[in-house]
């Protein structure tokens, strides 16, 4: 059993993710590549949880509003955990098929810590929208721009960690986006009481 990362390790790992966010490949030097680094990277889910909760609070959602607090919390926690586990499981199988299993740990470490810059960007947009009372259309455009940037960010992480062909990178980026959408859609159905 691996211990959680220290505060210094968290700071260093987030610094590496931030450098990758800015398309600086030197960010990889701040991220581990061994089994301990792999398991510690999942602690990013705990590190960013307060920012994620703030994001949920700032962005209204009709499905969440209609659900009871107990149902909302339980469904969100389960969906959050599934979201952190599902893609690594898919990639583990996929990298095995592609014959690049040795790239799995470096990729997942970078991918997991990349959630830090991602949630900061999305939370920043939500705070700007609330502070300046932006129209829904403007908020939607900002989120769309952020989504495009984050898809490119993910593609960059795949390229620098796994050195895969661009066609496979695009396929993986789209695959992760579809999987995230499916998890969100399932969360909304459960929250609405469809199951």
The whole-number pLDDT of residue 64 equals 58
Predicted TM-score of the model (pTM): 0.95
Mean pLDDT, the chain, as a whole number?
A: 94
The whole-number pLDDT of residue 71 equals 85
Residue 192 binned pLDDT confidence (cut-offs 50, 70, 90): confident
Mean pLDDT, range 131-158, rounded to an integer: 95
Judged against a pLDDT cut of 60, whether residue 78 lies above it is answered with yes
- Domain residue spans in the chain? 7-191
The alpha helices in the chain, defined as continuous H runs, are: 7-21, 35-41, 44-47, 49-58, 62-66, 69-98, 104-113, 115-131, 136-162, 166-191
Residue 195 DSSP code? -
Judged against a pLDDT cut of 90, whether residue 98 lies above it is answered with yes
Per the rule left: phi > 0, alpha: psi between -120 and 50, beta: everything else, 135 is beta
Judged against a pLDDT cut of 70, whether residue 147 lies above it is answered with yes
The whole-number pLDDT of residue 65 equals 60
Cα 104 to Cα 124: distance, rounded to the nearest angstrom: 31
Count Cβ neighbours within 10 Å for each residue of 92-110 and write b for 16 or more, e otherwise. eebbeeeebeebbbbbbbb
DSSP string spanning 3-59? PPPPHHHHHHHHHHHHHHHTT-GGGGGGS--SHHHHHHHTTHHHHTHHHHHHHHHHS
The whole-number pLDDT of residue 194 equals 64
pLDDT in tens, 27-67: 999 999 999 999 999 999 999 999 999 999 898 665 556 66
Residue 184 binned pLDDT confidence (cut-offs 50, 70, 90): very high
Residue 68 binned pLDDT confidence (cut-offs 50, 70, 90): confident
């Amino acid at each position: 059993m691996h211990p959680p990362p220290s505060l210094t390790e968290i700071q260093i790992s987030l610094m590496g993710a931030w450098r990758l966010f800015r398309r600086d490949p030197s960010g990889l030097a701040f991220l581990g590549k061994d089994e301990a680094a792999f398991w510690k990277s999942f602690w990013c889910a705990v590190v960013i949880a307060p920012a994620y909760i703030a994001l949920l609070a700032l962005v209204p959602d009709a499905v969440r509003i209609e659900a009871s607090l107990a149902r909302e919390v339980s469904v969100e926690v389960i969906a959050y955990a599934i979201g952190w586990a599902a893609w690594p499981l898919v990639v583990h199988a996929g990298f095995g098929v592609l014959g690049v299993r040795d790239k799995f740990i470096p990729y997942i470490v970078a991918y997991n810590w990349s959630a830090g810059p991602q949630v900061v960007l999305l939370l920043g947009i939500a705070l700007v929208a609330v502070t300046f009372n932006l129209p829904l259309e403007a908020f939607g455009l900002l989120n769309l721009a952020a989504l495009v940037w984050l898809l490119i960010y993910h593609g960059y992480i795949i390229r620098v960690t796994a050195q895969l062909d661009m066609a496979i990178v695009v396929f993986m980026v789209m695959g992760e986006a579809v999987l995230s959408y499916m998890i969100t859609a399932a969360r909304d159905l459960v929250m609405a009481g469809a199951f």
